[in-house]
Structure 1
Amino acid sequence: MELRQLRYFVAVADEGGFGRAAERLGIVQSAVSQQIRRLERELGVTLFERSTRRVRLSGAGERLLPEARGVLAAADRARRVAADIASGAEGLLRLGTVQGPGDRIFRLLDELAATAPRLHVRLRRLPLADRLAAVRAGELDAALVRAVPAAPDLELFPVWTDPLYAALPAGHPLAAEPRPDLARLARLPLRLAPREDNPPFHDLITDALRAAGAEPLLGPPFTDLQETLTAIAAGPPSWTVFYEVAGLPRVPRVALRPLAAPSVTTSLAVSPGPPTPPLRHLLQALAGHPDAGDLR
C-alpha cells in the first residue's frame, strides 16, 4: 500500500468521480483508475461501485475512508515534524552535564527554551571519561566538561570560567590574607583527590603549584567537600582547593579564600564538523550567556 494510492482513494471519494479526482490531482484519469484497482487488489475489497453514470463508495469504501484520511493526516504531521527537526525548530538535544556551579545550568536551559521552545533537552550526568566517550560515539550531542584542556577527536569551546577557593584553618596566618599566595599555601599538606579520580582537575592544581615554584605536598585525599572541610577544621593544619557548586559552604574554624590563580574553565565538547540544528541552538544559547566565552 502506498500513500499516493490512499490520496487517490480520498480524492475520488471527495470528488465523486475519477475524472474530477484526476483534475484535482493534476494527473491523467487512467493513472487514478490504475492505482485504485491496485489498492483494491491489495486490500481484497471493492472500494467503489462503478457504473456508466456515477461512482460511489461501496460499504467497504465508506468504512475505510476515515482510516485513509487518518493515515494521510499522520503522514502530513510526520512531514511537518521532520521539517521542524531539519530546521532546528524541534528536536532532541542530548547534553552531558557537570554539577553546578550555582544555577548556571538552569539559566542555560531557560535561555535555550527562549530561543528554541520546542527543542527537547535530555540531560545526562556521567563521569568525565564516559561523557567524552559518549560524544565521540554520537550518544550525546555535546557535553560540558570542566578543567579539560584538550580532548582527542573532539572540539572544545570554553563557555565560562570560575574562581577557585582555598579552604584552610581559620587560625592559620594565611587565613588573614584576602587572596593567599599559592606558594605559601603549598607548605601545608594539600587534600586533593587522587589523579585517577579526576585527572584534569588534579593536573590543573599540581601544575599551578609547580608554576608558582612549589612542589605539591599531598596530604590525606579529598573525599567530598563537607567531609574534607570538617577534617581541616578538626585535624592538623592542611588545606584544599575547590570550585563553587551550590554556594560557598560555612564550616566553623575553616576560612575560605579566593585564589588569584588558577581558575577553572568549563568547556563544551562536541564532535568536529558542522553542528546539528539542536547543537546550533545550544551554541546560540551559550553565546547569549553572560559568562560565556567566544563561541563563534
Structure 2
Amino acid sequence: MDLRQLRVFVAVVDAGTFTDAAARLGVSQATASRTVAALEAALGARLLQRNTRHVGLTGTGAQVLPIARRVLDEVAHLERVVEQSRGELRVGYAWAALGKHTRRVQKAWSATHPRTPLVFVQTNTPTAGLAEGTADVAVIRRALDDPRFDTALVGVESRYAAVSTDSPLARRRSVRIDDLTRYTLAIDARTGTTTLDLWPPGSAPAKVRSTTGVDEWLTLIAAGQAVGITSEATANQNPRPGVAFRAVRDAPPIPVWLAWWRDDVPPRLPDLLGLVCEAYR
C-alpha cells in the first residue's frame, strides 16, 4: 500500500467513476483501475463495487474511506510544515531569546535576507526546540552534552537576581549572591541557568522551589514567595509588574551558545552566527 493508491481510491469515490477520476488525476482509466485493484490486493478486501456506469463503496470501503482521507490530510499537513520551514529560519529559545540583542539581530537579518524571515520560537526544553523539531537553531545557556548537535559560543551575559518589588533587596542597585540565601530560591532545573553550585558548599539557600517555565517563575517572585537568579536576557525580555531585577555583582557570567543539528546544518547559519557574535561584542 502506498499514498498514490489512497489518492486514486479517494478520487474515484469523489468522482463517481474511474473515467472521471482518471481525467482529474491526469492518468488513464486503466491506470486508475489497476491502482485501486492494487490497493484492494494490499488490504485483502474489496473496497469498491463496480458497474459500467458507476462505482460504489462496499462495507469495508466505507470504513476505509474516512481513514484514507485523514491519512492524506496528515501527509498534506506534513508537506506544508516542511515547505514553511524551508522559507524561514526558526531560532528556538527556552526563556529569553537573545535578550536586548534580539531586535537588533532581527533588523540586521531582515536587511540582508529579506526573503527569509528570522523567527524566534519559545520551547521550554533542554534543546530549546531542536530535538522537538520546532527550531532550526537554538539559543542555549546550559552546556549541551549531546553528540547530535554542534554548538558555537556567541557571547556571555551577566546574572541578575529577580526579587519582589516589596523586598528590601529591590531598594538596592545590585546584590551579592549571599544576600539571597535566606530566601526560597525558585529554579527551573530543566532549562534554567541557576544551580546550587553557585554558592560555596554549606551556604546555598535552604529552601528551593521547582518551576517549569519563566511565567511560573516570575509569578512566584512577584508574589514574594521566592527569589531567583537568571540571565541578563531574562531581565530584558520578561519585565513583570511586581518583579525587580538587580545585577548580582559577584556571580559568574552565563555563556550563550547557538546550537544546531550536526547532520542537518541550516542554510545561512554562518550569517546568523556572525550577526549574533557581533551583537554580543
Q: TM-score, normalised by structure 2?
A: 0.52
Structure-2 residue corresponding to 1:282: 272
Structure-1 residue corresponding to 2:205: 216
What letter is aligned with 2:185? L
Partner deviation per Cα, 1:46-67 (whole Å, 9 max, x = no partner): xxxxxxxxxxxxxxxxxxxxxx
Return the offset for 1:155. 1.9
Return the offset for 1:170. 5.8
- CA 1:241 to 1:129, structure 2 compared with 1: closer, same or farther past 3 Å? closer
Counterpart contact for 2:164–2:244, Cα < 8 Å: yes
- What is the percent sequence identity of the aligned residues? 19
- CA 1:280 to 1:93, structure 2 compared with 1: closer, same or farther past 3 Å? farther
Return the offset for 1:114. 2.2
Q: Distance in 1 between the 2:164 and 2:124 partners? A: 31
Structure-2 residue corresponding to 1:116: 113
Alignment of 1:91-240 (within 5 A): 92-98=87-93, 99-100=96-97, 102=99, 104-129=101-126, 131-134=129-132, 140-145=135-140, 147-153=141-147, 154-168=149-163, 177-193=172-188, 195=189, 198=190, 200-201=191-192, 204-210=194-200, 214-222=203-211, 224-232=216-224, 238-240=226-228
1:258 aligns with 2:247: yes
SS at match of 1:97: strand
Return the offset for 1:142. 1.8
Counterpart contact for 2:183–2:205, Cα < 8 Å: no
Counterpart contact for 1:102–1:246, Cα < 8 Å: yes
Counterpart contact for 2:154–2:280, Cα < 8 Å: yes
Q: Distance in 1 between the 2:136 and 2:165 partners? A: 44
Structure 2, unaligned runs of 5 or more: 1-85
Return the offset for 1:175. 5.1
- CA 1:209 to 1:113, structure 2 compared with 1: closer, same or farther past 3 Å? same
Partner deviation per Cα, 1:166-223 (whole Å, 9 max, x = no partner): 2345676655554322124213221333x2xx2x425x33221246x52332244446
What letter is aligned with 1:267? W
Partner deviation per Cα, 1:63-103 (whole Å, 9 max, x = no partner): xxxxxxxxxxxxxxxxxxxxxxxxxxxx6443232234555
Query: How many residue pairs were aligned?
Result: 185
Structure having greater relative contact order (Cα 8 Å, sep ≥ 6): 1
Counterpart contact for 1:192–1:218, Cα < 8 Å: no
Partner deviation per Cα, 1:94-153 (whole Å, 9 max, x = no partner): 323223455533321221122333334454432324623147xxx7432222x2213312
Return the offset for 1:269. 0.2
SS at match of 1:285: helix
Alignment of 1:33-72 (within 5 A): none
Which of 230, 235, 248 lines up with 1:244 in the alignment?
A: 235
Bigger CA radius of gyration: 1
Which of 259, 262, 265 lines up with 1:272 in the alignment?
A: 262
- CA 1:184 to 1:129, structure 2 compared with 1: closer, same or farther past 3 Å? closer
Counterpart contact for 2:88–2:117, Cα < 8 Å: yes
Counterpart contact for 1:92–1:121, Cα < 8 Å: no
Counterpart contact for 1:115–1:281, Cα < 8 Å: no
Q: Distance in 2 between the 1:270 and 1:286 partners? A: 14
Return the offset for 1:282. 1.6
Q: Distance in 1 between the 2:164 and 2:116 partners? A: 48
Alignment of 1:22-37 (within 5 A): none
Q: Distance in 2 between the 1:126 and 1:173 partners? A: 34
Q: Distance in 2 between the 1:102 and 1:285 partners? A: 14
